Structure 1
């Protein structure tokens, strides 16, 4: 495992909820609202994490079934506790889904694709699981520009420690842009491919609300913080604080943009 991959860890459900879960549910709602869906479909949620997307699918899309898969047993356990409706979960790798060929109407993945060792392999496996005419879709954070809390975090980290640039998700995940996503779907043989932005507000009550999730050790940014000496950690927090906007009521209003990509299986 590389030094970069060592920080790509999402394991603890409660810590993930504090860090990204609250925003991932909002972007999942935007994703499911992009176009109309027939009732009674069978959905496959790949890299389901704590079940944010699966729960929204169950609530909004009237599915016959949602099957969420994630390789983390701890996240799957959290997902089972948080979800309801016709939703089931399985511990499984995105590159080896435990489902027959063509057994789902749609395969989707939220905020996971860029963490796969081989995203193309993951997309191919999603396409395998979907029937002819079904859709394969995913969304990922725009780390380079649009996911403001992480963009400001890494800019502050590099300002205080130039070596942090090697861990910056904006640099590490060039896939998370419209053209690379479109190309990945097209190379997978999917048709009618489109890419669109999903933007949600991320308003923090104060600096503590924004900063404390970075102390939980979940994901690349928090993993980087966990490795810092206390003095360096405080310096990073203070540098980040100077870059943040503040509303009259003391809240910190930021935006989070993800890119969604979708295509149909021939």
Structure 2
């Protein structure tokens, strides 16, 4: 991704650098804005990552973050998956992203940025439609092994995988044309460095 971005998107206003979110490779106050998109759930110390974002932004600069909402009413494609998995397998509860990623909410994100020293912290949400052509279009990404839910599917014996697939097939809402229309919500938070 970085190689492609450097070739096609780099220029006088954009630079692409690989670094550690807990030790950003930039001097204090270098940036006017720092944004973390869909990352903080996977960082071992989100508070330290937020502090690093604040450090590299100059006074009056903006720090913003956003994360998928894995709870009820949030990322509905994933929520349906974990609800079905949990109904069939008790060990799925500990793997559910709503349980594993408690930072993904309006209040936790506000507290994270306020705790990092930002002023005027605000929160919001972004909701987008997610439309799947049919059940196979929905189910296919879960077979790739990439991410928490697909890794869980890959760990299942074939009979349990089939049971989960059929439970989802029976419970997901379908339009007349067979498509599955859901929504995905991300929580957002942003504030200014004093």
* Bin for the TM-score computed over the shorter chain: over 0.9
- Structure of higher CA gyration radius: 2
Partner of 1:157: 85
- Deviation digits for residues 100-136 of structure 1 (CA, Å, limit 9, x no counterpart): 1111110001111111111000000011110100000
Q: Could you say which residue in structure 1 is the equivalent of 2:137?
A: 209
Give the C-alpha shift of residue 88 in structure 1: 3.1
2:24 matched to 1:97? yes
Aligned pairs for 1:1-266 within 5 A: 75-77=1-3, 80=6, 84=9, 86=11, 87-145=14-72, 146-266=74-194
Q: Residues of 1 paired with 2:33 and 2:85: CA distance?
A: 39
Distance in 2 (alpha carbons) for counterparts of 1:230 and 1:154: 18
Q: Deviations over 1:61-118 (max 9, x none)?
A: xxxxxxxxxxxxxx5346557x535343222111111111111110001111111111
The whole-number CA distance in structure 2 between the counterparts of 1:85 and 1:91 is: 14
DSSP-derived class of the 2:91 partner: helix
Counterparts of 2:90 and 2:172, CA distance in 1: 20
TM-score (normalised: structure 2): 0.93
| 1:195-233 Cα deviation digits (max 9, x unpaired) | 101100000011111111111111111111111111111
Report SS of the residue matched to 1:138.
Answer: strand
CA 1:163/1:186 → structure 2, altered by over 3 Å: closer, same or farther?
A: same
Alignment gaps of 5+ in structure 2? none
Q: Distance in 1 between matches of 2:2 and 2:78?
A: 25
Q: Give distance in 2, aligned partners of 1:95 and 1:158.
A: 33
- Structure 1-normalised TM-score? 0.69
Q: Partners in 2 of 1:187 and 1:205 — Cα distance?
A: 43
Structure possessing the higher relative contact order (Cα contacts under 8 Å, 6 or more residues apart): 2
Q: Distance in 1 between matches of 2:162 and 2:87?
A: 13
Q: Is the 8 A contact 2:10 2:16 kept in 1?
A: no
Across the two proteins, how many residue pairs are aligned to each other?
191
Distance in 2 separating the partners of 1:77 and 1:133: 31
For residues 229-248 of structure 1, what are the alpha-carbon distances to aligned partners after superposition, in whole Å with 9 as ceiling and x for unaligned? 11111111111111211112
